[in-house]
Amino acid sequence: MEDTGEVLFIGEVESAGTVSTIVVNPEYCPALLGIERYSHLIVIYWFHLRDNEEHRGTLQVTPPRHKGASLTGVFACRSPSRPNPIGFTVVEIEGIDGCRLMVRGLDAMEGSPIVDLKPYLPHSDSFPNASLPRWMRH
């Protein structure tokens, strides 16, 4: 299989906290047009602190934040150590100021590169009856 993909970072997490700030690079600012009409966004970001050979080579982990979890493949959990260190989270938009988005619920760290932003669509992004392993229920 040919290696043809290229990921362009569109911005980064400027500050992380209860309300976090994402700064979109100026050349991508026009892509924010209309985003204020949504209450929530899907943020796709890069686990930049896990972008190394060791973490990219990790294929199985015991999820540390889930008591009772057993050894699990990284594709079956949300470990930041994985072949492609891509993370995503759903956030609530608190405010927009030019190329800055203030959001609540971001689990990325300060300095994390942003890969993409997508509007959260409740009718297609939520599956209330989805099943999950017992160790994920809390």
90-125 tens-digit pLDDT: 999 999 999 999 999 999 999 999 999 999 999 999
Q: Provide the 3-class DSSP secondary structure of residue 106.
A: coil
> Which residues sit opposite 45 in a β-bridge?
87, 114
Confidence at residue 92, expressed as pLDDT on a 0 to 100 scale: 98
Nearest to 74 by CA among 94, 60, 90: 60
pTM over 0.95: no
Long-range contacts of 74-77 (CB under 8 A, 24+ apart): 76/133
Ranges of residues in the chain with a pLDDT under 70 are: 1-2, 138
Domain 11-121, architecture per CATH: Beta Barrel (2.40)
